[in-house]
Homo-oligomer: A and B are copies of this chain.
Amino acid sequence: MSDTPNTNDDAGRDARHKARMVRKKEVVDSKIAAAQNERGVIVITTGNGKGKSSSGFGMVVRAMGHGMRTGVVQFIKGAFPSGEEMFLRRFPEECEFHVMGEGYTWETQDRARDVAKAEAAWEVARRMLRDPSFDLILFDELNIALKLHYLDLDTVIADLRARPPKQHVVITGRGAPSALIEAADTVTDMTPVKHAFEQGIKAQPGVEM
């Protein structure tokens, strides 16, 4: 290491880098020491950007990698099975997968039917929330069903609060209601910077479906 850390040579750069990293490690280590509570968390991904559902499915496979039992309820069903569905249905012991919704609402154009489908989906969700054998549950696109008032928000929050203390729940979809954000532990807003679709590129398997 150089004795002249203000020079622009590599040794000086490395020395300054090391000093910064030592300080950063102290900050990170002290935060880790302070965060010692273990309990089930509610994670929400919302916003208009891409990656909300993908992030939820990434957490499902991460949990499966740790030998945890997972459940998925998709509140909005597409015209075709998604790649996630086709993949996760290969592991029925590790992931209980339900697709319950009925297409996007502008496809069905029938509010009463959408409400009935959402309520049936929540019955499945509630059963999982009462079963401590599920370590992590994903409610994909639940936020949309709440935003459209297909489900009663107070009932949903009460069921979430009554779940087993170690159970993690991941909720995705744009338009998460503020009371749900209040009830959650970790919330991320996926903000679009740019999107291939707006540039005339088709939704493609593996990327969007």
Contacts and interface: CB of A to CB of B under 8 A. Distances in A.
A111 to B, nearest CB: 4
A10 B190 CA distance: 34
Contacts of A127: none
A35 B206 contact: no
A88 B194 CA distance: 29
A160 to B, nearest CB: 15
Interface in A37-82: 37-39, 41, 43-45, 47, 49-59, 61-66, 68, 82
A158 interface: no
A57 to B, nearest CB: 4
Interface in A14-30: 14, 17-18, 21-22, 24-25, 28
A85 to B, nearest CB: 7
A13 to B, nearest CB: 7
Interface residues of A, number: 85
A197 B105 CA distance: 36
B22 A62 contact: no
A36 interface: yes
Max chain B Cβ within 10 angstroms of own Cβ: one of A44, A56, A196: A196
A128 to B, nearest CB: 15
Contacts of A185: 194-196, 199, 201
Interface in A173-209: 181, 184-197, 199-207, 209
A43 B109 contact: no
Contacts of A55: 51-52, 54-55, 58
A196 B39 CA distance: 10
Nearest to A209: B62
A135 interface: yes
